[in-house]
Structure 1
Amino acid sequence: MEKLNAETARLTDEYSIRIGRWSQYAITEQLPFDAMWCVIPPGGSSQRDCHDEVELAVVVGGNADFEHAEDTPGAAERTEAAQGTAMLLGSNEPHIVHNRSTTEPLVVLSVYWPQQAPAPAASAGTEAGS
């Protein structure tokens, strides 16, 4: 059993927030995904991000707004996410995470993995017993 804690993680400044990549832990070779702690200061926001991986972002402390960051100005949608909420972000889905609090940091656990290629479709012309 391993205990992984955002409060004791080594954090670096990236994307205008503090990031604690799970590569700092010895267990990462055992995991089928990558992960990182994201700590956003009071009133702060991440930079716009867009990547090939699918991402599950879990709000573990605080309250967030997840912005679906369209390229068209004024077209962005925001979704509120309270502590305990998980947001599934698709591959190549541009997004920004905002901290709704002006006094407390926001802590998000980001788990991400490569998008799976779709399974080949079953042959439509097969008959039973052939």
Structure 2
Amino acid sequence: MSVTAFAVVVLALALVVLVAFMIPTLIEIRKAAADLRGFVSQTGGELKPVLIELERTLTELRTVTAGIAEKREDVQTFMEAVGDTGRNLRTINAVVGSVAQAAATSSIWLTGARAAGKFLTQRIITRRG
């Protein structure tokens, strides 16, 4: 047996051994590909309703956002009115405080004038009498 023939036999045996190991590997790869195809198709089927619901939610969110944008000006006007009311209440409070102080001051003056009037009246009466 020549070296070439021996090399061909070794090569043939190596090829047979390689094919013997490759067949189960190829079968497993084929099964994995089939499982992957099933998984992708199942996931796609389950994702479709979720994506539809997400699209509906986004549409509703856009509608709500548009409604909020429309009402923002009303809220801003309301807040300005509340601020004006606060300023008016502060002004009214200051005026009421000034009036109360004036009333208290005039009350003191009125009491003093009464006391002076009584004193003068008694003095005039005691001089005549």
Normalising to structure 1: TM-score of the pair?
0.17
Structure whose alpha-carbon radius of gyration is higher: 2
Higher helix residue share: 2
Higher strand residue share: 1
